[in-house]
Structure 1
Amino acid sequence: METYLVGGAVRDALLGIEVYDRDWVVVGATPKQMLEKGFEQVGKDFPVFLHPKTKEEHALARTERKQGRGYHGFEVFAEPSVTLEEDLIRRDLTINAMAQTPAGEIIDPYNGQQDLENRVLRHVSDAFSEDPLRVLRVARFAAKLAPFGFKVAPETVALMRQMVDSGELEQLTPERVWQEVVKVLNSVKPSEFFEVLAAVGADKVLFQELHALHGVEQPEKHHPEGDVWIHTMMVLESAGRLSSDIDVRFAALMHDLGKGVTPRELWPKHHGHEAAGLPLVKAVCKRFRVPKKVEQFALKVTEYHGLIHKALSRDASGEKRSELKPELKPKTYHKVLQNCGAYKDAATFEKILTACMADARGRLGFESVGYPQKDFWMRLLRAADQVDNQEIIAQGFKGKEIAEQIERGKINNIRAFIQSLDSDSLLSD
């Protein structure tokens, strides 16, 4: 009975990444022997045990044989006769197919260390193609390891394309896809995940609404980066720099889906794309069973990012900061604050503004542009909300009249706030 550290812990340690989770493989043992040593069995599909003290997972060495479609269609063989090399060859990538002995010796039968040095994501064997989830996993590793310069090997890209063409990805459950998306949105470079999927055609299968953004033209003056797909990937990266909140990052990914359904003859303009995007965001969220809170936030950003941008504007020259001025009507400002829930939840509204800032900065040459709209909206909210509800009630208003008076008071406060401003007070980023 021999125990080895395997997988991500070995890989990350060699890359100098801090290791949080450690997985182990046990060679030469039976479930009975594991239980006798105090391990707790937790695996149903194959024998996985929790260490009695550390609670780290220990899996018996195993092999797998494909029996059906999808990523559940496997027959697992876990016996004391299964070798370490046989267990490692069933893994996805060479950099994940290394093991370490208790003495610290690296066991690397499939050249994972060489691929680590060369910054290559390469499949271990043709058995890779038996599990469609691995297409998403490779894309996720590309996102996680992008700061180290990792790229997917050409032969692995070709194999992933074959898997997409075979229809295997359609067997993935919505929950499993969403789990991968969550992990990606928490990664260092989430756009790399979607770029890899696009390179193998998987975006068209899983994320049709995003795929539709490829090649969709935008006004060059405002979007020198090119089409909507490129812009969306840049906004996603910008959101990652501004916030670690998954709501903000997912909304950044969804915010411009409406541009994908603009008739070609109207390009490069996309009037009304905000409203056009709402059913598309809902479709994505329904398909992947996205949590309601995440969906609602993405819908607010999708619907109102245009108006939030337009809160302040410059004249045609657009260069002199003194030309910055409020653009919308007081009732429109109030409508945005009301419908975004700002009066009830200022913190969430501020997150919406952060997503809009990511949109503004997700453009070529605008990556560090100031976004005074965020400060302006928060100041506007504080001013608008200075309505004494009790005073209104004391004046004798009742029922529906109270709400009408509160709304009127907020709009009047907005109007007074705007009139009190000078251009210098609007310059905060």
Structure 2
Amino acid sequence: MNVSANTPVEVEELKGNTRVLILATLAFAVSFAGWSLFAPLASYLKVVFDLSSTALGLLLAAPVLLGSIVRVPIGILTDKYGGRKVFSALMAVCFFPMFIAGFAHSYLFLLICGLFFGAVGASFAVGIPQVSQWYPKEKQGLALGIYGIGNVGSAAAVFGAPFIAESVGWNKAFIFYSIPLLLMAAIYWFFSADAPKPKTVKPKTLSDRLKVYKSSHLIWVFSLFYFMTFGFFVCFSLWLPSYLKESYNITPVKAGSYASVFVFLATFSRILGGYLGDIFHGKHVLTIISLFLIGILIYLNLSSSLALTLVVFYCMAVCLGIGNGVVFKLVAEYFPKETGAVGGMVGAAGGLGGFFLPIILGTIRDYTNNNSLGFIFVSLVCLMCLSFMEEKTFITKKGDEMTPAVGQ
């Protein structure tokens, strides 16, 4: 059932809003395409600016940094002003540095542009609360999983940017991908809507909204797991084209095509993750996928053919997509009234994972001339997350299992 923002309806009667879900997903896809743009252009940028693996890793991670940090205030602003206003403004503002990046002639200038247009990566923290507020608890996992399809924007960048670079030059890719941001900002402003709120709800102050970060240790557990699942997704989406090109001596276009499959699988697996989060307890699903990821990372330390390596990476993508979907199902379930603030913090943790991991892997590659220690490092991150997934994690100080009402 679609509900207009102007319809006088109680929040309890809301059954969903397909139009808002579609628009939010499209806006997220457009934003994520721009946020991921450095990765498919990495091989061109490395040659043009004569970059080391560490410098390239820093460039790849620059958009992720601001996009991660900004998610916290953006989530709080979304709780206060609504997703329609915040999402539209974010896309409009980020259009400018992305467009200007098309005229960059130095590594430092391009790095600064990437740092600023990376703010568009905070878009995820806008759509999560806006979408979840339109849906009842038993359907939030699936709805948020569908919204997560917006990650496919990364595949659009990975697959399309090399063709643009080969045809008209790498710098034109930034101009090409910036224009949809401006168009989508206008569309979102005029056609999206925020879920109506009860008139009796007292507006919260900034201090009230920040108190949620002290209300439950689960916020930090969810943040840690999203640091792993989304951090790995961003890291390997950025890093995979260069890894495949160097390890198997294939062209940048072919490497980008293989990497786009990784992004597609991780993206659409979010729907499965959200659905599984609706019918099973998320902590059990997260435990299982963490164990699978450790096994996959151990296998990647072994030499194998391109075909087998791709199969293993694609299995990783499915695990990461499921994990991403489950984490935000848990966020919406346990913190229904502070989904923006909590989702912003959790999303920031995931973005920081995507920022630091490419740099770490690039540095390890520079100093060891192989990727084995990098795979070992990320497997240790999985083990650290598993150490927090105990039964007592979901137990309050009173000894009772925490219920989804904790955020109310």
Q: TM-score, normalised by structure 1?
A: 0.21
Higher RCO (C-alpha 8 Å, min separation 6): 2
**Larger strand percent:** 1
**Larger helix percent:** 2
